[in-house]
Amino acid sequence: MYDPNNIFARILRGELPCNKVYEDADTMAFMDIMPQSDGHVLVVTKEPAAELFDLSDAGAEAAIRTTKRVARAVRAAFSPDGISIGQFNGAAAGQTVPHVHFHIVPRYAERTLRGHGSDMQDPEILSQHAERIVAALREA
């Protein structure tokens, strides 16, 4: 069921690069490479699970703890008007990477969201955005 070669599993193993903003024993957070808005971060579990239902309770707790912590830093770094937090289970729900993850998507009143997984961000901009979040986490 779980594909150990999905993109996020490979990022977790260090086989693919990412713009990491946070890591602890149970989770990692990095910039979405096709952000729907500036500051869009993904929180992934280290526990191998395709969907939320496959995750242990401890894994789910760790994921939401990190999501809250990183979302607070995203809010401090980008001052959005709001933040959407989302998690998709199954292709029919819009899940494209079969490893459980939470989206932290800042919302800006005057800007419409970009498409889900549609436009690659300039790597330099992504790196700058990651630095802003890392700095906010350091100050938290």
Q: Which helix (H) or strand (E) holds 43?
A: strand 41-45
- Find where tokens 């969201």 sit: 113
Annotated catalytic residue within 40, 99, 101, 103: 101
Total interface residues for ligand AMP by CB under 6 A = 14
Distance from C-alpha of 22 to C-alpha of 38, rounded to nearest angstrom: 17
Per CB under 6 A, the segment of 49-57, 76-84, 88-96, 130-138 that binds ligand AMP is: 88-96
Cα-atom radius of gyration of the chain, to the nearest Å?
Answer: 14
**101 catalytic residue (yes or no):** yes
Distance from C-alpha of 65 to C-alpha of 106, rounded to nearest angstrom: 18
Q: Is 113 in the site for ligand AMP (CB under 6 A)?
A: no
Q: Which of 6, 33, 46, 134 binds ligand AMP (CB under 6 A)?
A: 33
Binding site for ligand AMP (CB under 6 A): 7, 16, 18, 32-34, 42, 88, 94-97, 116-117
- Give me the active site residues, please: 101
